[in-house]
Structure 1
Amino acid sequence: MQLQVAIDRVTLEEATALAKQLDPLVDIIEFGTSLVKDYGLLTLRDHPLHLQNAKLLIDLKTNDEGTYEFKQGYTTEAAILTAMAASSHDTLEQVYNVSVQQGKEILIDLLEADSSRIAQLTGFDQAIFGLHHSKDADVGFDAVATTAQFHRDFPQIKRLAVAGSINLEQASQLAQQDIAETVIVGGEIVGSSDPVAAAKTFMEVIS
């Protein structure tokens, strides 16, 4: 299982410094949507991280203007960009094709996507599918149970990333479950007093 660390709602300087600290330790570093909105793709392009180990995911959450946004996104150091499952099929087809053509990856964010919509997307067989719930939602999220149910419903989807206030116990259970290829952790690492030590601990429990 891979560990993706989500960095969000901080300054670009803080995000850059943390990314460089985490680069040797984790598999994927995510620059969240707030960083894209606060600083823009041109700023992120002009301030490369020069990562040596981890891949960079930029959480664009593309919903329209697919080809343009993904081509712009890949002018940065990003290896993975995200698009929303609720987008039109044409948009998703465009961003998927751009990713494949450029030898990059796409994560399709399943936020608020129901089963009938997900069933329409299974043809994007090289995509990563992101399973989580709204940060604004009042109800909690059982990542382990939700992942198991998703696998029963859509066994043909082979690439799954799971997020949603993941703690060490949940990360360990997800690793043992062996369904998701990536666990996404934000606050439990970034918000800790020692993010490097926290990342090491998460890597230990999922390996």
Structure 2
Amino acid sequence: MTKLQVAIDLLNTKDALALAEKVAPYVDIIELGTPLIKSEGVSVIRAMKDAFPDKQVFADFKTADTGELEAGLAFDAGADFVTILGSVDDATIKGAVKAANERNKGVVVDTIGVKDRVQRAKEVSAFGVKFVELHAGLDEQALDGYSVQVLIDEAKSAGVPVSIAGGVNKDTIKAVKESGAVVAVAGGAIYGAEDPAAAAKELRDILNA
């Protein structure tokens, strides 16, 4: 069963908690976006975990160095997952995995900016990460001709556990599920909707169908 992850790219804890309250019944993983964590610090992680202890909290650190240290900061603040950039040195990812293993938590490698996402996904999976996020960032999505189908095709050929982030919505989530992705990440399709709860429920219903 493909899990549903909501990416909360808001800028303050109050708004993030309010959105999470609306969509929590329909999502498995609550992601705290990089801008949110940079704005509010690790305290937003603890606030979210305290409010929703039955949900997995995903800290989108996008760590580029000191993997063990930064992963430890996220986990000790209540995160279940933390992201490390796939473009970094292998030692950074391995350090984060060490911190995760010591706490029974998980590292997710984010392939934003990686040219060969499939090859890198195969490489880093050998280090013990939970899954690899095939991720097209907002800037890449804004380019002419971008389609989430690129990520869907990559997921089919990766051969390792992956999530898909970058254009997941009600029109594409069925194909994301059929690609074999273990997690579908929806951001703007939920938080940008007029009714975020209804949007999250619609995505959940499609995954459950």
1:132 equivalent to 2:135? Answer yes
2:151 match: 146
Structure 1 unaligned regions, length at least 5: none
Is the 1:133–1:141 contact (alpha carbons within 8 Å) kept by the matching residues of 2? Answer: no
**Compared CA separation, residues 198 and 72, structure 1 to 2 (3 A):** same
1:6 match: 7
Structure 1 residue identity aligned to 2:156? H
1:169 equivalent to 2:171? Answer yes
Is the 1:109–1:131 contact (alpha carbons within 8 Å) kept by the matching residues of 2? Answer: yes
Mapping of residues 1-207 of structure 1, within 5 Å: 1-42=2-43, 44-45=45-46, 48-115=49-116, 116-137=119-140, 138-152=143-157, 154-155=158-159, 157=160, 159-175=161-177, 177-207=178-208
After superposition, the CA RMSD in angstroms is: 1.9
Is the 1:23–1:53 contact (alpha carbons within 8 Å) kept by the matching residues of 2? Answer: no
Aligned-partner SS, 1:23: helix
Between the aligned partners of 2:134 and 2:163, the Cα distance in structure 1 is 6
CA offset digits 1:166-195 (Å, max 9, x no partner): 2211002222x1410111001111111111
**Compared CA separation, residues 47 and 30, structure 1 to 2 (3 A):** closer
Between the aligned partners of 1:44 and 1:145, the Cα distance in structure 2 is 31
Is the 2:151–2:164 contact (alpha carbons within 8 Å) kept by the matching residues of 1? Answer: no
Structure 2 residue identity aligned to 1:98? A
Identity of aligned residues (%): 26
**Compared CA separation, residues 43 and 148, structure 1 to 2 (3 A):** closer
TM-score w.r.t. the length of structure 1 is 0.89
Is the 2:156–2:179 contact (alpha carbons within 8 Å) kept by the matching residues of 1? Answer: no
**Compared CA separation, residues 122 and 145, structure 1 to 2 (3 A):** same
Aligned-partner SS, 1:22: helix
**Compared CA separation, residues 114 and 201, structure 1 to 2 (3 A):** same
TM-score w.r.t. the length of structure 2 is 0.88
Aligned-partner SS, 2:197: helix
Structure 2 unaligned regions, length at least 5: none
Structure 2 residue identity aligned to 1:132? H
Is the 2:49–2:55 contact (alpha carbons within 8 Å) kept by the matching residues of 1? Answer: no
Aligned-partner SS, 2:124: coil
> How many equivalent pairs are there?
203
**Compared CA separation, residues 15 and 42, structure 1 to 2 (3 A):** closer
